[in-house]
């Protein structure tokens, strides 16, 4: 039977899981370099008739080593804040390979642009500020095409309920600012969310190309958005070749009609890193709540490492890795995290963070490892950092030769406290 991509056994052997537990302690993130590079090569094969730039949406997992691996594999960078742009530069990325598309206009955005970072205006206000700072310059513009896709409203960033991008009916105001500041709009960007429906992607591509017709200087179209991956059995993954073929056809038709060959940009995040990462944790307790209740496996990880189940009801593959030989017994368990929070549940009902759903798992002993798969994207980057004062977990890279490399150390209590200060009136005992 084929091992699901998001499971621990797709990345780590039993001996490797136990080695992580012993060598680095738990909880700990582990990422597989080979899988990261394989996904990068798949993204770079996205159908395109006139050239492709594939950008890594680094918000998914911004660790410098992950950024560096994917950049060396041929991906450029999609930064969602000025801070991410600075982190990418610190990781060794050429500023010219970074596209800054942010909800917030940072005070230092002009210094990033001067360093070579490409700017993508996400609102009329941002476009105005860019024009004032850089009249006559090239710029990208992000539009909300009026349609979006996602597995929930919280991952849908297109349509009337999303604040991302300039609403497509404000096109004339964009043209006015373009004329006022003599701007060269060379990139047009839309972002529809994180869905798996190719029909939605195709329709959004058509809506975006209709906007391009109004901007003759546009040479590049960025169809942003995530490609859904299958972490657990039953989930549907986006076939990017299938989703991309009609988009390529739309670009060819646009060229036939208008004589303009547009370069395509995509900016996946989850697709690249989700199933390349796992969290190795340790079973700290096993409790039950009687005949009418549940059996619970408590682990030393939780929403401080993986917030997605509590936020979305997201599903992650979970495996118990026993430290000693067992008789193969299994049971029905809920897996819960270490936070003093009723919502810190790692096995919610699919799509419903309020619901509970047991998993059939190997009967554990306290001290066994428990591995949570599909944890490469929006986990270490989007955790409930330092809740209950738990430190940030370390991150480890498994290289092509099977060696482990520490790429982020475990946070210390001193590091948690380092920015806190007590005012004098609270330190005065009188």
At 70, give phi and psi (nearest 5°).
-75, -35
Residue of 72, 129, 78 whose CA lies nearest to 102: 78
The catalytically annotated residue of 61, 122, 204, 340 is 340
Residue of 187, 261, 251, 253 whose CA lies nearest to 220: 187
Nearest-5° Cα angle at 198, 188 to 139: 10
For residues 101 and 88, what is the distance between their CA atoms, to the nearest angstrom?
A: 14
Query: Which tokens in the block code for residue 106?
Result: 């940072």
Secondary structure class of 6 (helix, strand, coil): coil
Residue of 349, 326, 346 whose CA lies nearest to 337: 346
Residue of 276, 162, 265 whose CA lies nearest to 212: 265
Residue of 333, 406, 330, 357 whose CA lies nearest to 25: 406
Q: At what angle do helices 124-133 and 171-181 cross, to 10 degrees?
A: 10
In a 13 Å sphere around the CA of 281, the CA atoms on its Cβ side amount to 30
For residues 28 and 305, what is the distance between their CA atoms, to the nearest angstrom?
A: 9
Q: Omega into 414 within 30° of 0, i.e. cis?
A: no
For residues 55 and 223, what is the distance between their CA atoms, to the nearest angstrom?
A: 11
**Which residue shows structure tokens 């800054």?**
100
DSSP codes of every residue in 99-153: EE--SS--TTHHHHHHHT-EEEE-SHHHHHHHHHHSTT-EEEEEEE-S--EESSG
At 298, give phi and psi (nearest 5°).
-95, 135
- 340 carries an active-site annotation: yes
Cβ-based neighbours of 421, under 8 Å, separated by 6 or more: none
Q: Specify burial of residue 406 (Cβ count, 10 A radius: 0-12, 13-18, 19+).
A: middle
Catalytic residues: 340
């Amino acid at each position: 039977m084929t091992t699901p991509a998001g499971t621990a056994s797709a990345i780590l052997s039993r001996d490797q899981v136990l080695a992580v537990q012993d060598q680095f302690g738990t909880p700990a993130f582990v990422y597989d370099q080979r899988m990261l590079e394989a996904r990068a090569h798949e993204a770079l094969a996205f159908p395109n008739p006139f050239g492709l730039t594939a950008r890594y949406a680094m918000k998914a997992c911004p660790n410098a080593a992950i950024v560096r691996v994917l950049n060396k594999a041929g991906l450029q960078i999609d930064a969602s804040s000025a801070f991410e742009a600075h982190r990418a530069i610190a990781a060794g990325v050429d500023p010219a390979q970074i596209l800054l598309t942010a909800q917030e206009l940072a005070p230092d955005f002009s210094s990033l642009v001067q360093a070579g970072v490409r700017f993508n205006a996400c609102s009329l206000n941002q476009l105005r500020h860019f024009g004032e700072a850089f009249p006559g310059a090239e710029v990208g513009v992000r539009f909300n095409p009026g349609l979006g896709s996602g597995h929930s409203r919280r991952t849908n960033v297109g349509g009337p309920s999303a604040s991302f991008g300039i609403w497509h009916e404000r096109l004339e105001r964009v043209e006015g600012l373009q004329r006022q500041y003599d701007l060269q709009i060379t990139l047009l960007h839309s972002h529809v969310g994180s869905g798996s429906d190719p029909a939605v992607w195709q329709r959004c591509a058509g809506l975006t190309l209709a906007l391009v017709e109004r901007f003759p200087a546009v040479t590049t179209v960025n169809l942003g958005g995530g490609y859904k991956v299958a972490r657990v059995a039953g989930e549907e993954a986006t076939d990017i070749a299938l989703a991309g073929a009609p988009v390529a056809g739309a670009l060819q038709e646009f060229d036939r009609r208008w004589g303009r060959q547009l370069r395509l940009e995509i900016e996946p995040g989850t697709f690249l890193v989700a199933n390349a990462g796992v969290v190795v944790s340790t079973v700290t307790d096993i409790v039950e709540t009687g005949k009418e209740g549940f059996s619970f496996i408590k682990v030393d990880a939780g929403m401080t490492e993986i917030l997605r189940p509590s936020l979305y009801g997201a599903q992650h593959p979970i495996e118990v890795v026993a430290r000693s030989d067992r008789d193969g017994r299994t049971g029905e368990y809920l897996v819960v995290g270490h936070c003093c929070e009723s919502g810190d549940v790692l096995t919610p009902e699919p799509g419903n963070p309020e619901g509970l759903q047991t998993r059939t798992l190997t009967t554990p002993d306290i001290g066994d490892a428990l591995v949570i798969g599909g944890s490469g994207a929006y986990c270490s980057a989007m955790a409930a950092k330092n809740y209950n004062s738990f430190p940030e977990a370390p991150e480890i890279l498994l290289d092509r030769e099977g060696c482990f490399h520490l790429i982020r150390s475990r946070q210390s209590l001193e590091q948690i406290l380092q920015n806190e200060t007590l005012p004098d009136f609270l330190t005065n005992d009188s």
